[in-house]
Amino acid sequence: MPGSRTGGPPAQRAVRRPPAPQRVRDNPLRVLHRRARKAWDRPLTAYYLILGGSLLITVLGLVMVYSASQITALQMALPGSFFFRKQFLAASIGAGLLLLASRMPVKLHRALAYPILAGAVFLMALVQVPGIGVAVNGNQNWLSLGGSFQIQPSEFGKLALVLWGADLIARKHDKKLLAQWKHMLVPLVPVAFLLLGLIMLGGDMGTAIILTAILFGLLWLAGAPTRLFVGVLSIAATIGVILIKTSPNRMARLSCIGATEPQSGPVDCWQAVHGIYALASGGIFGSGLGASVEKWGQLPEAHTDFIFAVTGEELGLAGTLSVLALFAALGYAGIRVAGRTEDPFVRYAAGGVTTWIVAQAVINIGAVLGLLPIAGVPLPLFSYGGSALLPTMFAIGLLIAFARDEPAARAALAMRQPRFGRKRAGGSAPDRGPRRWNTMRRRASAARTSGER
């Protein structure tokens, strides 16, 4: 019979399935790339990058300020920790400003734009009053607060231009006025030129360059036409060339780009060359924290403008690359916040802050490396100087507030539960409903993943 060999009719025979194809093991590089891309796309990535990166830069900057400023303090008959204590005080106040700015709503930030601009203009004008303004290293851009404490109002001018410019462009964006070139330029460019004029009266061209970069960043984010952008850039470049040509000091700084000898002809390039010496003697891992040789009087401004050179000498290439990576992460996070928001003010303010910090870091590091002229600007969050640290930390707080305000980030933060639940008024056990719900969601996600595999 047909079914006698198998013990049953043909309809009841077991159907043999073809063997399942062996799973091809995925490329480890592709797996790593997929996981990294997934991590970058998480809602809170920008929030953690801004918060963690800024705190790491500030803490490492405090360590390097303490190391780089000891010899300078002793030469001035001051305690070795004098500059570190002042920087630590400024960082503590700045941390409070950062926390305050990160918790403020966007409407309050916009409301503060005009008062901060008015205060910055008033203080920058007050600097030029004889007997009130203080000159430091040939630049009269300081106000004395009594004792050894001084303030540089032009640093707050950067924050004022970012907030006020972002609010102005956002209002015109809502009214559909940015398509007209007059509304694109007025009154943004005249007010920016007012701030630039007050800064240049004191001779501080480095801060003026940063302010110009912020202006162009705002115009670019606002969608300025190419012809308009090139026109404003040409005017600024022409004014810059005139200011450089008419100043022997600025011409000397320009001539020191790429110099390899302290005395390059008639020009003294001592600071630029010894900055290169410091970086070159650091090697891969540096000579050790506190073991810098150039800070013993050879390198001027070792704890301010040229602290990156001391970092390269003491921490080596590994230390300098770490600092560059932190600034790159901070810049990426700022661009991500500006690109993902639907609020015009948040987009312009986040882009302005990112332009400010990245441009200042590039100018400072480029001068230390001998690729750019020495502009006399500090490394953001890293160099000594409370006047530069306070507004910068407030601006970082702005970025944190904007990163938290993203819809996906708000949802992710709302889902986070405290580790220990709170007891109810009747003393009952803590409510574990949300935690149990999150556990169920994770199990469902794991089941889906295993099913896909």
- Residue 206 located in a structural domain: yes
Of the chain, the percentage scoring pLDDT greater than 90 comes to 57
Beta carbons of 191 and 169 less than 8 angstroms apart: no
pLDDT exceeds 80 at position 445: no
Domain of residue 389: give its range. Answer: 44-408
Query: Per the structure block, which two tokens stand in for 175?
Result: 């009214």
What is the pLDDT averaged over residues 88-115?
96
Query: Considering the chain, what is the average pLDDT of its residues?
Result: 85
pLDDT exceeds 60 at position 277: yes
- How is 270-305 classified by DSSP, letter by letter? HHHHHHHHHHHTTTTT-S-TT--STTTTTSTTTTTT
Residue-wise pLDDT tens digits, 242-266: 888 888 888 888 888 887 778 765 5
- Residue 27 located in a structural domain: no
Residue-wise pLDDT tens digits, 30-85: 776 666 666 667 888 999 999 999 999 999 999 999 999 999 999 999 999 999 99
Q: What is the pTM of this model?
A: 0.84
The bridge status of strand 149-151 relative to strand 139-146 is antiparallel
CA nearest to 236, candidates 207, 213, 203, 204 = 213
Number of structural domains the chain divides into? 1
Query: Per the structure block, which two tokens stand in for 11?
Result: 């309809």
- Residue 434 located in a structural domain: no
pLDDT at 421: 46
Q: Which residues are CB-contacts of 306 (< 8 A; sequence separation ≥ 6)?
A: 271, 275, 278, 299, 300, 368
Query: Per the structure block, which two tokens stand in for 336?
Result: 């991500």
Highest mean pLDDT among 119-123, 136-140, 241-245, 294-298: 119-123
Residue-wise pLDDT tens digits, 390-413: 999 999 999 999 999 887 777 887
Beta carbons of 363 and 377 less than 8 angstroms apart: yes
- Residue 17 located in a structural domain: no
pLDDT at 29: 67
Of the chain, the percentage scoring pLDDT greater than 70 comes to 82
Strands (E), 308-421: none
Residue 371: other Cβ atoms inside 10 A = 11
Q: Which of 174-188, 260-274, 322-336 has the lowest mean pLDDT?
A: 260-274
